């Protein structure tokens, strides 16, 4: 009998850029029980709709549905729904596992009642999203740790044999199909060309041009309408999909939006973030879609940056680990009750270099046998009291100092 891995324990349930006109309440509440149209809920849990069809229905018929990472509360709801289904029909863990991972000869229609029942537990999620999420969560090959060289070799061979048929690749490699796909795209493909380490100025300029040509010049969103596989290809394969995405979203995007100047996070940003999160009305911060927080007047920060800044604010509260989201929100609401003044921009003074003349350098110990001469440039600012018996001999000639 195959036991189920438990879902993560959710946190305690509850019961231009800085204008005064910023809308702190622009994002719609994401709590699962809100804004549920019964007809839409039935459509989402019974029809297998792809992303394009969902987007079309959202635009033409006002379909409301959730995308992105599943929240801790949703995880708990799904886990409870599976347990209820198992108990209702007297099924074992192995029998549930067989429903989630049927043999390839079995039709998906046979397990359709199961997927519809489970999806109905979180009405704002499409059945296809729940299907893929559950299969990832309960996959027997999940979380196998670091990839070995032998696995990488098998992966390369499998892709040579099957192309991007990731289920077949998975069978040969012994890893989840999504893990095989991500490992190949992010770490194996173009590995011989891949560059690590800091980005050069030329690389940053090239990445900026590629992304802006792909988005701004075509009337698309600068952060969310980027195909990173194509960007990596246009970078000559020297930087991978992940490298390009992280560099853009966490560093370059905000500079482009701020007319070439690198912005700095300040207390006004913290105030806006707290009040935007407060306006969502979520029961837990894992329900937040961080991409929805920006607006035309406050859009410099990536979703990843906002999430990290929120975590910093939350961790500033003593004992936050044992608090509900509502309790944390109450404290931050008081701490950020007043909109702070704009930060004063102070030009940084260049640090003056202390230059010692040859005359200022102490003469060598006449008893020393060390004949080493060191240039005045290398001895500037040195702590002479810490020098070893090998002493520094002053020299007045430029030839000696070189």
Domain boundaries, the chain: 38-137, 149-188, 201-257, 267-335, 355-402
Exposure of 255 by Cβ count < 10 A (0-12 exposed, 13-18 middle, 19+ buried)? middle
Exposure of 364 by Cβ count < 10 A (0-12 exposed, 13-18 middle, 19+ buried)? middle
pLDDT of amino acid 19: 37
Exposure of 9 by Cβ count < 10 A (0-12 exposed, 13-18 middle, 19+ buried)? exposed
The CATH classification of domain 149-188, taken from the options 1.10.10, 2.40.50, 3.40.710, 3.40.50: 1.10.10
Q: Note whether 268 and 339 are within 8 A (CB).
A: yes
Grade residue 348 by pLDDT with cuts at 50, 70 and 90.
low
Weakest-pLDDT range from 33-47, 125-139, 218-232, 355-369? 355-369
At residue 380, does pLDDT exceed 60?
A: no
- Size of the chain in residues: 402
Exposure of 200 by Cβ count < 10 A (0-12 exposed, 13-18 middle, 19+ buried)? exposed
Overall pTM > 0.85: no
Per-residue tokens: 276: 């935007």
Question: Which residues, 6 or more positions from 351, have their beta carbon under 8 angstroms from its beta carbon?
Answer: none
At residue 214, does pLDDT exceed 70?
A: yes
Per-residue tokens: 190: 């173009």
pLDDT of amino acid 373: 42
Q: What percent of the chain has pLDDT over 70?
A: 77
Strand, coil or helix: what is 189? coil
Per-chain mean pLDDT for the chain: 80
At residue 54, does pLDDT exceed 70?
A: yes
Exposure of 38 by Cβ count < 10 A (0-12 exposed, 13-18 middle, 19+ buried)? exposed
Exposure of 69 by Cβ count < 10 A (0-12 exposed, 13-18 middle, 19+ buried)? middle
Residue 221 DSSP one-character state = -
Grade residue 393 by pLDDT with cuts at 50, 70 and 90.
very low
Q: Note whether 86 and 100 are within 8 A (CB).
A: no
Q: Which of 255, 246, 242, 241 is nearest to 205 (CA)?
A: 255
* Most confident among 184-193, 346-355, 361-370 (mean pLDDT): 184-193
What's the rounded Cα separation, in Å, for the pair 352 and 350? 6
Beta bridge partners of 373: 393
């Amino acid at each position: 009998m195959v036991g189920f891995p438990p879902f993560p324990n959710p946190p305690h349930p509850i019961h231009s850029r800085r204008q005064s006109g910023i809308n702190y309440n622009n994002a719609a509440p994401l709590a699962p029980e809100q804004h549920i149209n019964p007809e839409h809920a039935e459509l989402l849990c019974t029809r297998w709709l792809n992303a394009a069809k969902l987007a079309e229905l959202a635009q033409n018929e006002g379909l409301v549905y959730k995308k992105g990472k599943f929240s801790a509360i949703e995880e708990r709801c799904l886990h409870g729904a599976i347990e209820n289904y198992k108990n209702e029909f007297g099924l074992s863990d192995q029998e549930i596992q067989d429903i989630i991972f049927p043999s390839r000869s079995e039709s998906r229609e046979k397990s359709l009642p199961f997927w519809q029942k489970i999806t109905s537990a979180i009405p704002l999620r499409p059945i296809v999203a729940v299907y893929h999420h559950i299969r990832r969560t309960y996959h027997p090959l999940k979380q196998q740790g670091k990839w070995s060289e032998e696995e990488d070799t098998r992966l390369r061979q499998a892709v040579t044999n099957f192309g991007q048929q990731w289920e077949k690749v998975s069978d040969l490699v012994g890893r989840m199909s999504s893990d095989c796909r991500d490992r190949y795209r992010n770490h194996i493909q173009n590995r011989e060309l891949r560059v690590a380490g800091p980005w050069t100025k030329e690389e940053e300029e090239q990445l900026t041009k590629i992304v802006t040509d792909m988005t701004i010049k075509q009337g698309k969103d600068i952060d969310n309408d980027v195909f990173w596989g194509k960007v990596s290809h246009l970078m000559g394969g020297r930087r991978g999909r992940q490298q390009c995405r992280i560099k853009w979203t966490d560093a370059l995007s905000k500079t482009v939006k701020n007319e070439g100047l690198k912005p700095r996070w300040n207390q006004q940003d913290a105030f806006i973030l707290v009040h935007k999160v407060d306006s969502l009305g979520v029961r837990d911060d894992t329900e937040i879609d961080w991409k929805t927080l920006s607006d035309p007047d406050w859009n410099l920060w990536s979703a990843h940056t906002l999430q990290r800044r929120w975590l910093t604010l939350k961790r500033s509260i003593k004992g936050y680990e044992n608090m509900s989201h509502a309790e944390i929100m109450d404290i931050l609401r008081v701490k950020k009750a007043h909109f702070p003044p704009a930060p004063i921009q102070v030009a940084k003074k260049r640090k003056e270099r202390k230059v010692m003349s040859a005359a200022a350098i102490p003469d060598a110990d006449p008893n020393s046998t060390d004949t080493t001469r060191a240039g005045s440039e290398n001895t500037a600012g040195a702590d002479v009291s810490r020098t070893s018996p090998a002493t520094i001999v002053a020299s007045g000639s430029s030839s000696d100092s070189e």
